[in-house]
Chains A and B, each alone.
Chain A
Amino acid sequence: MKNPLDSLWGTVISGLILTAVFYSFVKYYWGG
């Protein structure tokens, strides 16, 4: 499997997915 960090789009999309994951954790699990 190709490393997504080898492409700029892969890097940006990975960052956006990570943002959604962190936001969900903070919002629903860690109570802000």
Chain B
Amino acid sequence: MELLPALARWLHFMSGVMWIGLLYYFNFVQVAAMKSATADGTAAGISKHVMPRALLFFRWSAVVTWLAGAALLGSHFMDAFALHHGFAGIGIGAWLGTIMLFNVWVLIWPNQKKILGMVAATDEEKVKARRVAFLASRTNTMLSIPMLFMMATGLSHSIYV
């Protein structure tokens, strides 16, 4: 076993677990919890103490996951992204992961900053930001399903040969 690819794969998995784990926490737990917390007036605690920390690890684990994945692809980076023969499975996974990283940094994080009051925004802008961040997060949850399938099966290429 070569050391560097093994380290890249290990890091890819660990940071990926943190990224997708937090994504699933947001979608499967927090969205519903926020509705209940808003109803009984306790949502501010989640917004103030949980969200900023969760989003910090969420967005940076996304970056580490992508970089470790790129390192893992190594000389096959272009083969994967160009969906060359034998690399379509992992290539689709890489594309989905890249789209998800884009969603995190371009759609989710800037809009969450408005929602949480980290940057100035009118009430109307906050309503729009909430909808965009929600849909981007749900899109990532949807994309994570084929992404994890392609990652799990494409790394070994075993089911495609």
By beta carbon, the residue of chain B nearest A16 is B145
Docked Cα-Cα span, A16 to B86, in Å, equals 23
Pick from A8, A12, A21, A31: contact of B88, CB under 8 Å: A31
- Complex contact B138–A11 (CB within 8 A): yes
Residues from chain A with Cβ under 8 Å of B98 in the complex:
none
B83 within 8 A of A: yes
Docked Cα-Cα span, A27 to B139, in Å, equals 24
| Chain B interfacial residues counted at CB < 8 A | 24
- Complex contact B142–A32 (CB within 8 A): no
Binding site secondary structure of chain A: helix
Q: Which residues of B approach A to under 8 Å, CB–CB?
A: 27-28, 83, 85-86, 88-89, 92, 135, 138-139, 141-146, 149-150, 154, 157, 159-161
Pairs across A and B, CB under 8 Å, 13 listed = A3-B135, A8-B28, A11-B141, A14-B142, A15-B141, A15-B143, A23-B146, A25-B88, A26-B88, A26-B160, A32-B157, A32-B160, A32-B161
